[in-house]
Amino acid sequence: MGLERISDRLIIALLAFACLFFIAFISFPIAAVFLNLDLDMLILQLRNPQVLSALTVSIVTASFATLISFIFGIPTAYLLATRRFPGRSIVDTILDIPIVLPPAVAGIALLLAFAPRGILGPTLKEFGIILPGSTIAVVLAQIFVASPFLIRSAKAAFEDVDRNLVNSAKILSSSRLRVFLTITLPLSSHGLLAGTIMTWARSMGEFGATLMFAGNLPGVTQTMPLAIYMLMAEDPMASNVLSAILIVVSFGVLALFKILGRKRYGARL
């Protein structure tokens, strides 16, 4: 009995140690960013045109990438969640590829597909569209890398909706759109919102594919992560400030994600 109690305590101690190790490993570097931060420098850097333009490019492109991902991602996720068709698992796998693909490979792939010497490049050029070096390229890189997060999350949310609830609504209402808007959508809204937030956050942090495909032009394609990378050499403090801003944004997004994940339906005010 005593031996059992000792081994129980030992297991708990080992588990706690593993947990503490990871907490320290993750929070120490994050804390380091803030510990090196000078408040005067922070205020100064927030007025720095390069910092402000990188922040603007990041927020604008990430928001567009999220919007486009939402418009195309939600119907895709709904189709995958509610219909069985030949090749469904293949489609599912293809849509997941960007999650496991190294961002540099994503950048090369986008270049080979859309750059002037790529497969679609000459056709796009005929219409006067040259993607690399444009803000659109940043958005495309972000969609490529981040949209699977939205599709996965939305698909799981749609799959979680109780089929009997949808069937109850189908019996009472002939309009599929009404059933979708009044039952499926509200019941999956937390998952959709969480997926949207994750997609936005992933777009904000996108680096490799953007650098390879869109380039690093201040005010055009230079996003926050690219600016951090560039400023590392010439102005480490500015780079530190940008990092701190991104951490605050990421932490805010994560907090929102957790709060939305906790919310339940039918709370009476």
Q: Rule CB under 8 A: which residues touch another protein?
A: 162, 164-165, 167-175, 178, 182-183, 186-187, 265-266, 268
Q: How far is the CA of 84 from the CAs of 40, 87, 88, 170, in angstroms?
A: 59, 9, 7, 19
Closest to another protein by CB, 259 vs 267, is 267
Minimum distance from residue 164 beta carbon to another protein (Å): 4
CB-nearer residue toward another protein: 128 or 266: 266
Question: Do the Cβ atoms of 73 and 146 come closer than 8 Å?
Answer: no
CA distances from residue 258 to 58, 251, 265 in whole angstroms, order as listed: 23, 11, 16
Measured from the CB of residue 267, what is the shortest distance to another protein in angstroms?
Answer: 8
Cα(265)–Cα(211) distance, rounded to whole angstroms?
A: 42
Among candidate residues 87, 89, 123, 103, the one with its CA nearest the CA of residue 223: 103
Q: How far apart are CA 228 and CA 216, in angstroms?
A: 11
Please identify, using beta-carbon distances, which residue of 93 and 174 lies nearer to another protein.
174
Minimum CB separation from another protein for residue 262, in Å? Answer: 15
Nearer to another protein, 2 or 266 (CB): 266
Question: Is the Cβ of residue 125 or residue 170 nearer to another protein in the bound state?
Answer: 170
Q: How far is the CB of 154 from another protein (least distance, A)?
A: 18
Q: What is the 3-state secondary structure (H, E, C) of 2-60?
A: HHHHHHHHHHHHHHHHHHHHHHHHHHHHHHHHHHCCCHHHHHHHCCCHHHHHHHHHHHH
Residue 263 C-beta: closest distance to another protein, Å: 11
